């Protein structure tokens, strides 16, 4: 086992989170323990508890990193020459691809049983808000006179629907593979929701 003095607190935090992320690639969060993470780090469980309150706290930080990663990936998309609807579709396809490529991390974001019942801290909610802000910016271009409440509501409706398709897709529960792809379903969903919203 390594000694705590081998790394700074910042380095230990990074090591703990990256170790948890690697484990989540091979097992669900429900099977994860602080001992497994500490062992992968090469440290004792005691060292882990000097950084995080408990396992749910550690996993919440993993989620924050996942949300930030999704946000940064969205920022890298080349959207300047496209319509707002095409940009929203690009975000949705990126979200779908991430769900398939990183199922453990993606599923953890919504696993309340593992994360516990504690109220989400402001720093975490700000990361969620940052992601939604990308969608909201595009929605304002589509319907500039909309109120903030309307923009907030339609962004949540839209993304909840996209999330539903992603969930069914990664669990192979769509039962329409021969008829259309998940990408086609998402494109149809976005097109029709936005059409109904703009004409409403």
pLDDT tops 70 at residue 4: no
In whole angstroms, how far apart are CA 63 and each of 114, 166, 168?
A: 12, 18, 21
Q: Average pLDDT for residues 69-85, to the nearest whole number? A: 92
Closest CA to 172 of 100, 92, 93: 100
pLDDT for 54 equals 93
In a domain, 57, yes or no: no
pLDDT for 177 equals 56
Q: Do 14 and 96 fall within a single domain?
A: no
Share of the chain above pLDDT 90, in %: 78
Q: Average pLDDT for residues 102-125, to the nearest whole number? A: 88
Three-state DSSP class for residue 121:
coil
- Number of structural domains in the chain: 2
Three-state DSSP class for residue 8:
coil
Q: Which residue has the tokens 């309340």?
A: 112
Cβ proximity of 29 and 107 under 8 Å: yes
Q: Average pLDDT for residues 83-89, to the nearest whole number? A: 96
Alpha-carbon gap, residue 173 to 191, rounded angstroms: 22
Q: Do 31 and 124 fall within a single domain?
A: no
- Name the token pair of 35: 């001992």
DSSP character string of 48-114:
HHTT-SSHHHHHHHHHHHHHHHHHHHHHHS--TTS-HHHHHHHHHHHHHHHHHH-HHHHHHTT-HHH
The CATH number for 150's domain is 1.10.357.10
Q: Domain ends where: 11, 28, 52?
A: 52
Instruction: Specify the higher pLDDT residue, 115 or 140.
Output: 140
pLDDT for 107 equals 93
In a domain, 146, yes or no: yes
Confidence of residue 106 (pLDDT cuts 50, 70, 90): very high
Give the pLDDT confidence of 5-33 residue by residue, as tens digits. Answer: 677 889 999 999 999 999 999 999 999 99
Three-state DSSP class for residue 40:
helix
Q: Domain range for residue 16? A: 1-52
pLDDT tops 80 at residue 74: yes
Q: Do 43 and 73 fall within a single domain?
A: no
pLDDT for 7 equals 79
pLDDT for 105 equals 95
Q: Do 36 and 131 fall within a single domain?
A: no
pLDDT for 134 equals 96
Give the pLDDT confidence of 133-186 residue by residue, as tens digits. Answer: 999 999 999 999 999 999 999 999 999 999 999 998 888 766 655 557 899 999
Q: Do 136 and 40 fall within a single domain?
A: no
Q: Do 100 and 40 fall within a single domain?
A: no
Q: Do 110 and 193 fall within a single domain?
A: yes
Q: Which residue has the tokens 């923009």?
A: 151
pLDDT for 80 equals 81
The CATH number for 1's domain is 1.10.10
């Amino acid at each position: 086992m390594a000694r705590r003095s081998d790394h700074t607190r910042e380095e230990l935090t990074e090591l703990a989170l990256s170790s948890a992320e690697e484990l989540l690639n091979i097992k669900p969060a429900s099977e994860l323990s602080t001992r497994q993470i500490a062992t992968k780090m090469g440290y004792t469980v005691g060292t882990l508890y000097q950084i995080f309150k408990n396992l749910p706290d550690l996993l919440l930080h993993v989620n924050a990193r996942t949300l930030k990663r999704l946000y940064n990936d969205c920022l890298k998309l080349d959207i300047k020459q496209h319509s707002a609807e095409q940009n929203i579709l690009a975000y949705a396809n990126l979200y779908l691809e991430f769900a398939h490529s990183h199922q453990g991390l993606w599923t953890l974001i919504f696993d309340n049983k593992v994360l516990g019942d504690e109220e989400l801290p402001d720093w975490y909610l700000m990361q969620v808000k940052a992601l939604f802000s990308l969608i909201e910016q595009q929605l304002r271009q589509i319907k500039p006179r909309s109120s903030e409440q309307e923009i907030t509501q339609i962004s949540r409706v839209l993304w909840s629907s996209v999330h539903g398709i992603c969930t069914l897709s990664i669990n192979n529960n769509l039962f329409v593979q021969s008829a259309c792809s998940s990408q086609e379903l998402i494109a149809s969903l976005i097109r029709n929701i936005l059409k109904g919203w703009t004409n409403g």
